Amino acid sequence: MDIDIAFASLLRTLREKNGLSQEKLAEKCDLHRTYISLLERGKRQPSLNVLYKLAIGLDISLSNMMSELETKLSDKNENS
């Protein structure tokens, strides 16, 4: 699985798990809603600064977010 698609899927999952709309997450992270949409569709890749803002907005540590991404990538690669 491509890392961009894996991150997009993880971001959407974490956002929905927190009961947030794209707009609410964008407000919490001081980002634009359309940028959140682009991230969730794998059309944009976040900078480290944006990753940190997203982690705070999603109430997860950045290290846990990256760990979940790594798990998602290895699970998908094993199933391929």
pLDDT per position as a tens digit, 47-76: 999 999 999 999 999 999 999 999 999 987
Range list of H helices, the chain: 3-17, 22-29, 33-40, 48-57, 62-79
**Domain of residue 65, CATH code:** 1.10.260.40
Residue 80 has pLDDT above 90, yes or no: no
Number of domains making up the chain? 1
Residue 4 has pLDDT above 80, yes or no: yes
Comparing CA positions, the residue from 42, 46, 43 lying closest to residue 9 is 42
**What is the predicted pLDDT for the residue at 1?**
67
Using pLDDT thresholds of 50, 70 and 90, give the confidence band for residue 78. Answer: confident
Task: Kindly report the average pLDDT of the chain as a whole number.
Answer: 95
Which domain covers residue 71, as residue numbers?
Answer: 3-79
**What is the predicted pLDDT for the residue at 75?**
85
